[in-house]
Structure 1
């Protein structure tokens, strides 16, 4: 009986549709967690962290004059790019990709929230205008 219930629960969980499309409005809400240190948009300036305009697809340490951590500079030297998968890993736990990095952020555990946040960031060009 227990195994039947367990199998039924596993099948129901597997059949539940995952949310496929990111929600940019929810991503904008998620960005509020980032706003103490980062900015986006046409008037974005350096805060504690660099502005995140054009971050999706950008090379690591791409902003001239910003004092990136050694981990991020090393990633840049290795040719790393902030693609969606890398951003997802970083947003889950920044210390995974940059163990000695300056970013003091615990990460975002929700996969949907990370996907929404990345979609929100992806709409900004390097000059802060929206695509």
Structure 2
């Protein structure tokens, strides 16, 4: 290839490169991008039970819910836990401890399982797996016991947790079912307010006033009656003549 041909090719390549760079600079000047003040959209997530988070979930009324809980549904829901836990008596520990008799047992106390320091410390603050403790732990394990080995996200529906706890209770549970809470039964009357307690006394005031004539009548049969009767006699007596 001659020098002239090489120079033509090199010039054409150089000219193409210069044209591309020039077009890029030109387009950048014409179509200058404008950066938004805020990237994307800010999505605000309300904290559970906080402002705007809806009504706070009350603890279950165990005396009402446990006797009618669907144990079969609890067993089906417990299938989510079987990859880590066994629940039969004498069952082996897995990634998590065997859960036979866990209802009413002491936390971090099942033999042969290496509990996390967080769960061991929690056992000092909550020495019994009560119904409320199990409910709170199953709802959000990491939130209720920060640092626990249990990485399960939790059971968010209360009826599902109640069913699972009823199932666990049927597997060697040691806690009796409490009596239903009278204040949470249908048709339970609300306690009277402090201002309402004074209403009967105010209504009784006319009765005390009405009792006054009766008292005067009783006095008419006593020692005051002659004195009252004597007054007209003194007025009618003739004045002494001087």
Instruction: Give the alignment's TM-score, normalised by structure 2.
Output: 0.43
How far, CA to CA, are the matches of 1:69 and 1:43 in structure 2? 22
User: Secondary structure of 1:100's match?
Assistant: coil
2:116 corresponds to: 69
2:114 is equivalent to residue 59 of structure 1: no
1:93 corresponds to: 140
How far, CA to CA, are the matches of 1:79 and 1:120 in structure 2? 22
2:157 is equivalent to residue 120 of structure 1: no
Instruction: Give the alignment's TM-score, normalised by structure 1.
Output: 0.77
CA-CA distance at 1:79 after TM superposition: 4.9
Structure 1: where are the runs of 5+ without partners?
Answer: 1-18, 127-131
In the TM superposition, what whole-angstrom CA distance separates every residue of 1:52-87 from its partner, at most 9, and x where no partner exists?
A: 000000111111221101111012233521111000
How far, CA to CA, are the matches of 2:73 and 2:126 in structure 1? 31
Structure 2: where are the runs of 5+ without partners?
Answer: 1-63, 174-242
How far, CA to CA, are the matches of 1:103 and 1:56 in structure 2? 17
How far, CA to CA, are the matches of 2:101 and 2:140 in structure 1? 21
- Evaluate the alpha carbon distance shift between residue 105 and residue 78 of structure 1 in structure 2; reply closer, same or farther with a 3 A threshold: same
How many aligned residue pairs are there? 108
- Evaluate the alpha carbon distance shift between residue 109 and residue 33 of structure 1 in structure 2; reply closer, same or farther with a 3 A threshold: same
| More off after superposition, 61-70 vs 111-120 | 61-70
CA-CA distance at 1:43 after TM superposition: 4.7
How far, CA to CA, are the matches of 1:23 and 1:99 in structure 2? 30
Bigger radius of gyration: 2
Which of structures 1 and 2 has the larger relative contact order (alpha carbons within 8 angstroms, sep 6+)?
Answer: 1
How far, CA to CA, are the matches of 2:113 and 2:95 in structure 1? 10
